[in-house]
Amino acid sequence: MKRLTFLLVFLTCVTFQTRGATKSDYLNVIKAARNNLSAQYQQKLSGWEKTYIPDAFSGYAPPSFPVQLVEGDGFLYHVTGQAMYAKEAVKVLIEIGRLRTYFPAAYRSYQKEYRYGLPPMTNFFHLIPYIRSYLWIKSSGMMTPDQKSEIEKNIAQTADYVFRFHEWGPMNRSILRAAALMAASKALPKHPRAKLWRRKAQELAAPSLAKWTIEDAQIYNAVWLDGLFMYIDFAGDQTIWRQPVRHYYFEYLLQLQNPLGYQAEYGDNHGFWDQTARYMAIYERGAKEYHDGEYKWAAAKMWRAVQNDPKNNNIQTGLSYINAYLWCDDSVRPQEPTNKTTEVLEELYGKKVVFRSGWDPDATFLLLNYRNGNEYGKVPKDYLVNTIPIETEKPDHGHSDENNIGPFMTHKTVLLSVPSYFKRADFYQNKIVARKNEMPDTTYRLLPFLRRQETYRMVTSQKLHFYTFKHADVTRTRVTDSNLGYVWDRVITYLKDLNSFVVFDGIKITKPGLFTFANLWHTQKILNSGKHWYESRFLNVGDIPGRWPNPGKWTLLTYFPEPDRKREGVEFVYNWSFAKDLDFAMYRAVTDSMKAGDRLCFTTVLIPFKHGPHPEVKIKPISYLKSDNYPNGVGVKIVFPKKTILVTARMNLEMEYLPYQTRPRYTYKRGRIGYFWKDAAHRSHRMDTDARWAYAEVSNDKINFAFVEATKLLVDQKEIFSSFENSFYTFVSDGKLIHPAREKWECWEDTVKLK
């Protein structure tokens, strides 16, 4: 009997862990949320009526809770057939239109869009749930002819308002208007302007149907896809699911789900806990349309995360799960993804890399976002730039975050976050920040100097390398600022066995001038510090005070091991959005007059640390790896009693090229850099290689190594790797048509015995 009981408990736990939410689960939450809001409705409405202060400048701003309630009532009638829901929906549908009487007629002339009359709903988010509720109860028999006429008039007046004042391009604000107008044409097919609404809806939706969005923001990717799927349902054309770009976004979002089950932040965001209902619905739709267990698993994990969130309140947010219910397919079985570090999804549009140790809640997760304001969608981006005031961000709700690192988390603890909604400028990011032709006051703080320049500056970005090996993963991404005149390569190495990261930031000057470069890393509290290292912790995640107190006991050790002299410090930056937690930046910086061709490099080691005494013990084995060609060759060494780990990067990629025409144009001799270290027994060693990046784990009897783009690698003069010599046809610059040479191998990893 005990065995049977244990088996039943085990199977129950397994089922809960894998199945996630069913339609029944979503329905129960929606019912509870609707009942709660219905019970509070009159009190909330009276409160709004007493406290609403009309604002001629901002225009009419009706409350959102009546629309939420009316959608819930309409939906529950649609699902249950219970007449009480339809009856309540009719009452609120009428009431929503009458609330506009609280906006004085004298104020209406200030808003040109009101010249044809004040619409019942001025927020384009409201029209879709209003129409859906009407469509769900239209045949209920609960409306009198006069009520039906008044509700349809509310729909028509708001649809006309949206028709006259719309934004276009593949983005959230456009697709929501398209969905609203398509819904209006479906609700009122015989209305004299229904064809105009439908035509405008098709026009606004067309750029989104088979194309990427121009937005790069965690919030707005959810709003855009949610609106797009509702548009598809209103339009009745399901052929969209055969288009590759639709499938692309489900894979894109899946790789951006963090170990806690939420969507990682990038661009405009309030915190990773935001937009969960929309993302859950999106994953459910992907699972349904493609019968994909990984999308179902992502929805299930997000559902469990929300239920386990002590600050989540389904009573308040439950009505947001309506689309999740509508799109849920209980026949799809969840299947956990198996990939780890990966590109998200490619280097042309997505332009992100996720370093990941796994998918469990304790896994390590770090996001690199190198997305620039790329060439895609130039016309709608130009339209936005010249229509609305956007100065500190890319014209896509993205921040000035090219090559930014974050979020970074491990063991359920956030170690590096990203700035939230209104903190878009470059100096709020974890990245290299550049200023030119101004001299900061060396006796005063650096951050106020950086804040003088907040406007977004257009740059280009590229992926140069992305490789995963047994012991290390590596990316190299490049940002080119043609305006200021520099090229910045960020090389990130994930040391899997140590669960730590080494970051090399190499800069090449292309236009002379007085430059300041700052290597910024943001946090909220410094717990400890020592020579070139800082132990830090985030207290709160997101921009709502106390919404997500950072759990766990882990902290981040940030270490600057470089031997050269740079300005270093920790400075207060700003109040972390609306929260009381302060934001500090740890940094190293250089100000100097530089000429074209000059180079410099910053090195940072990021080490997750379970908070306790003596964090310096984690730092002690790590130091800078000397090279015979700094800053063209840089490295870090980690010395243990029985082995030494080396991470190197050649920051000057062009030094390997010969000055005359021949092929291959590169040679080992020109690209070679020597690296020198002493092991735990103080024995001297060296490694010589022309690798653009290399990892080596050297012990007394063997070496585990991996490299990117090399012809040779030697340790203590012993040849560990050499590419094969072959015959090459070449330009006749030296009188030889054919000559022997070694070509570079793209990448390789191996283990070689040293004795």
| 722 shares a domain with 587 | no
Residue 196 to residues 123, 164, 188, 190, 507, Cα–Cα distance (Å): 20, 11, 12, 12, 54
Q: Is residue 128 part of a domain?
A: no
Least confident of 266-280, 542-556, 660-674: 542-556
Q: Is residue 636 part of a domain?
A: yes
| 506 shares a domain with 364 | yes
The pLDDT confidence band at residue 257, using thresholds 50, 70 and 90, is very high
Element (H, E) at 638: strand 633-639
pLDDT at 11 over 50: no
Identify the CATH number of the domain in which residue 461 sits. Answer: 2.70.98.70
Contacts of 114-121 with CB under 8 Å at 24 or more apart are 114/59, 114/60, 116/160, 116/161, 116/164, 117/157, 118/60, 119/157, 119/158, 119/160, 119/161, 120/62, 120/96, 120/154, 120/157, 120/158, 121/62, 121/67, 121/96, 121/154, 121/158, 121/161
**What local confidence, expressed as pLDDT, does residue 531 receive?**
94
- Contact assessment for residue 261 and residue 272, using Cβ atoms and an 8 Å cutoff: no
The pLDDT confidence band at residue 436, using thresholds 50, 70 and 90, is very high
Last residue of a domain, one of 593, 611, 629: 611
Whether a cis peptide bond, with omega within 30° of 0, leads into 613 is no
**What local confidence, expressed as pLDDT, does residue 463 receive?**
97
Taking only the tens place, the pLDDT of each residue in 632-645 is: 999 999 999 999 99
pLDDT at 7 over 70: no
Q: Is residue 687 part of a domain?
A: yes
| 661 shares a domain with 600 | no
Rounded CA-CA distance 22/318 in Å is 14
Structure tokens at 79: 């699902």
Nearest to 428 by CA among 397, 401, 448, 452: 401
- Contact assessment for residue 702 and residue 751, using Cβ atoms and an 8 Å cutoff: yes
**What local confidence, expressed as pLDDT, does residue 580 receive?**
53
Which amino acid is residue 32, in one-letter code?
A
| 711 shares a domain with 687 | yes
Range of the domain at 566: 338-369+400-611
pLDDT at 4 over 60: no
Q: What is the mean pLDDT of residues 184-205?
A: 97
Angle between helices 145-164 and 172-187 (to 10 degrees): 150
The pLDDT confidence band at residue 313, using thresholds 50, 70 and 90, is low
CB atoms under 10 Å from CB of 197, counted, come to 26
Which amino acid is residue 361, in one-letter code?
P
Least confident of 327-341, 380-394, 635-649, 705-719: 380-394
Count of the separate structural domains present in the chain: 2
| 639 shares a domain with 563 | no
Task: Give percent of the chain with pLDDT exceeding 90.
Answer: 74
Q: What is the mean pLDDT of residues 3-15?
A: 38
Last residue of a domain, one of 611, 631, 661: 611
pTM: 0.94
Rounded CA-CA distance 178/172 in Å is 10
In sequence order, what are the beta bridge partners of 605?
Answer: 502, 559
Q: Is residue 634 part of a domain?
A: yes
* Residue 360 CB partners (closer than 8 Å, separation 6+): 259
DSSP count for the chain of H helices, then E strands: 18, 30
Least confident of 55-59, 524-528, 740-744: 55-59
pLDDT at 2 over 80: no
Q: Is residue 736 part of a domain?
A: yes
DSSP string across 483-526? TTTEEEEEEEEEETTTTEEEEEEEEEESS-EEEEEEEEEEESEE
For residues 574-586, one letter each, b for 16 or more C-beta atoms within 10 angstroms of the residue's C-beta and e for the rest, the string is: bebbebebebbbb
**What local confidence, expressed as pLDDT, does residue 735 receive?**
61
pLDDT at 251 over 50: yes
If DSSP codes are grouped into helix, strand and coil, which group holds residue 364?
Answer: coil
| 512 shares a domain with 632 | no
Angle between helices 145-164 and 194-209 (to 10 degrees): 50
Nearest to 422 by CA among 397, 453, 447: 397
The pLDDT confidence band at residue 491, using thresholds 50, 70 and 90, is very high
The per-residue pLDDT of the chain, averaged, comes to: 91
| 704 shares a domain with 667 | yes
Taking only the tens place, the pLDDT of each residue in 348-391 is: 889 999 999 999 999 999 999 999 987 788 888 888 888 887 77
Rounded CA-CA distance 456/372 in Å is 11
Taking only the tens place, the pLDDT of each residue in 118-156 is: 999 999 899 999 999 999 999 999 999 999 999 999 999
Rounded CA-CA distance 613/621 in Å is 17
Last residue of a domain, one of 584, 611, 638: 611
Rounded CA-CA distance 526/516 in Å is 25
Taking only the tens place, the pLDDT of each residue in 69-107 is: 999 999 999 999 999 999 999 999 999 999 999 999 888
Q: Is residue 171 part of a domain?
A: no
Q: Is residue 441 part of a domain?
A: yes
Taking only the tens place, the pLDDT of each residue in 561-582 is: 998 889 999 998 865 444 455 6
**What local confidence, expressed as pLDDT, does residue 423 receive?**
85
| 578 shares a domain with 514 | yes
| 603 shares a domain with 674 | no
The pLDDT confidence band at residue 13, using thresholds 50, 70 and 90, is very low
Q: Is residue 195 part of a domain?
A: no
| 504 shares a domain with 361 | yes
- Contact assessment for residue 99 and residue 52, using Cβ atoms and an 8 Å cutoff: no
| 546 shares a domain with 450 | yes
Structure tokens at 18: 């894998």
CB atoms under 10 Å from CB of 210, counted, come to 14
| 579 shares a domain with 494 | yes
The pLDDT confidence band at residue 660, using thresholds 50, 70 and 90, is confident
